[in-house]
Amino acid sequence: MSKIRKSLWMRYVDLSKIRDALQLVSDHNGQLRAKDLETLGIEMGFFRRENGEPFSRTTMYHHRKIMEHLGMVRVDRQHYFMEDTGQFAELLKPAATTGVLSPEEKETLANAIILNSDCQSHFFHVFSLSQKMFTGVEEFRTKASYIIAQADKEGTIVLRSPRTEVRYPLDTNDKLQAIFWGVRLWAIDLGVTDEIFTYSEGRAIFPILRPGSLKASDIVKAILSELKPRETWETISTPELTRKWSPYLRVSTQELHNAIQSMQVRFPQFIDLIPTSASFIAIRTPFEKQDKALFKGYLRDSQGRFISHIRLHHSIWEEYVRAKETQ
């Protein structure tokens, strides 16, 4: 008799729906079967698509399995019970905004996902420099290294660490759906990782600190301390700057770009933003490599333009140091 392979349970869902479903289980602890949970979820509106159509049974199944495997609930005699660990207390508070997770809720979910053994062994372990399991979201944010996701010659997406040479091929459709289109996107949604695409490496996925952990002025100071002016005007590629500094400082591409824009607002006479077009970015990129992560390397200005280069006047270094001293 052939052995039945166990499929992975991780699938991409809106994690605010997981919170809503968990609150429903808590309100009816031990009283709901799977069908009851799904029916009430549809009636309450969180198991519906944006167009109002109910979720498919498969989609609701994935929501239930995610709650089970993350240790939020247990099923006893086909009824759902809350796991009384206190780990998910933040998710049981009244939601401030429907369909939106608070920073505290995101942190709670991120911690549960990073601590989950399946998520660690299939995704987060590639980020580890020591090959040890991460002890939680905070350690991941501060200790994890960046990884690369890139297709090999056969077209299989491989997760690899440039620093440890660990490689993890997503060589089945189940792994691709669970890891690349599941856990990877959860981590982005929860603000644990960000990513940027480059032609030479592929998709760089890197850990980020909680928003606001670094001041915009400190981000700018770090960049300027490295960039030494050689001419009156220095021209810098924004994709190259973003690829280097977002992973290094562990800040999202958006937070890095916001810091640069704050510098431009303060010293407009010393900074020029050079735009390009989205169509030009797409034209010079092979179709199979076109991805939102590619555009993350380009700063978006107040007019919505993609900024491909930044020109800095050499006086910005002196002016910025002077401004820092008077703060």
SS (H, E, C) 90-133: HHHCCCCCCCCCCHHHHHHHHHHHHHCHHHHHHCHHHHCCCCCC
Q: What digits encode the pLDDT tens for the residues 178-221?
A: 999 999 999 999 999 999 988 778 899 999 999 999 999 899 98
pTM: 0.89
Q: Name the average pLDDT for the chain.
A: 89
Q: What digits encode the pLDDT tens for the residues 293-321?
A: 778 888 888 888 888 999 998 888 777 66
Q: What digits encode the pLDDT tens for the residues 245-280?
A: 999 999 999 999 999 999 888 888 989 999 886 655
Q: Which of 319, 146, 296, 301 is nearest to 221 (CA)?
A: 319
Start-end of CATH 1.10.10.10 domains in the chain: 15-100
Question: What average pLDDT does this structure show over 131-154?
Answer: 93
Q: Kindly report the CATH number that applies to the domain delimited by 15-100.
A: 1.10.10.10
